[in-house]
Homo-oligomer: A and B are copies of this chain.
Amino acid sequence: MSERHEVTRPQRTEADLADPAYRQGLVALLGVLAYGELVGFLTIAQEAGFAPSSRDKVTLARVASQEFGHYERLAARIEELGGDSHQAMAPFTRAVDDWHRRATPTDWSEALMKVYAGHSIANDFYREMSDLVDPDTRRLMRDALEDSGRVEFAAGELRRMIAADDKVAGRLALWGRRLIGEALSQAQRVAADNDDLIALLVDDGSGYGLDLGGWMHMFTRLTDAHTARMEALGLSA
């Protein structure tokens, strides 16, 4: 990921939790993240079906289990904030499900690339968003985004596959582009359709959230980091 920017905008604090609009925005943000973790759990487990050995299956199963632990903590936080975790996830299930449907790997190398590129860009995105919330919620989000070696595991496997067969590189570069294109278009759909999220994340003059320039910079950081990840495998982004 490119150099982290200095956070100079005003920071939300615990005091903001008293504001119902802020709480509603948080519940929405945690809702989409929670559903992402839940479905992430399910799809990692599905993709582990492609794993060639019991050792790889175990590695992915462990990752998936941790993902579910994250889901449970996020759901608990939603309830703490006075929300209902299933209601909070409901507005986002379609976009997240659609993303997974459009980005369904057909083999082990594509499954690994989905972990390596898709999981990473989603993580970068949520990490950026965690700058916009109060410190307690930020800590919880960052814990949920903690990568448990999964990306490193995927990178190692992908490097081996690319080294072993030079036709793999072109195919995976293409697949990587598709993953990211789908991810960005679903992310836009999620954000544009949800007033609570917009109120939380977009600066309408309150000084909180990102203004248009902030969003542009953020997307540049996300795509730069993606490009760097692809190049680290010797692939064009």
Contacts and interface: CB of A to CB of B under 8 A. Distances in A.
B35 A90 contact: no
A45 B86 CA distance: 18
Given A41-B61, A65-B65, A71-B61, A93 B46 contact: no
B57 A61 contact: no
A53 interface: yes
Contacts of A58: 38, 71, 75, 86
Contacts of A45: 41-42, 44-46, 64
B55 A86 contact: yes
Contacts of A93: 54
A35 B90 CA distance: 35
A231 to B, nearest CB: 33
A42 B49 contact: yes
A69 to B, nearest CB: 8
Contact of A68 (B35, B65, B71): B65
A230 interface: no
A210 to B, nearest CB: 28
A12 interface: no
Contact of A42 (B55, B57, B90): B57
A89 interface: yes
Nearest to A64: B45
Contacts of A89: 54
Nearest to A31: B54
Contacts of A86: 53-55, 58
A156 to B, nearest CB: 18
A62 interface: yes
Interface string A20-59: 0000000000000001001101101110110001110110
Contacts of A42: 45-46, 48-49, 57, 61
Interface of A: 35, 38-39, 41-42, 44-46, 48-49, 53-55, 57-58, 61-62, 64-65, 68-69, 71, 75, 86, 89-90, 93
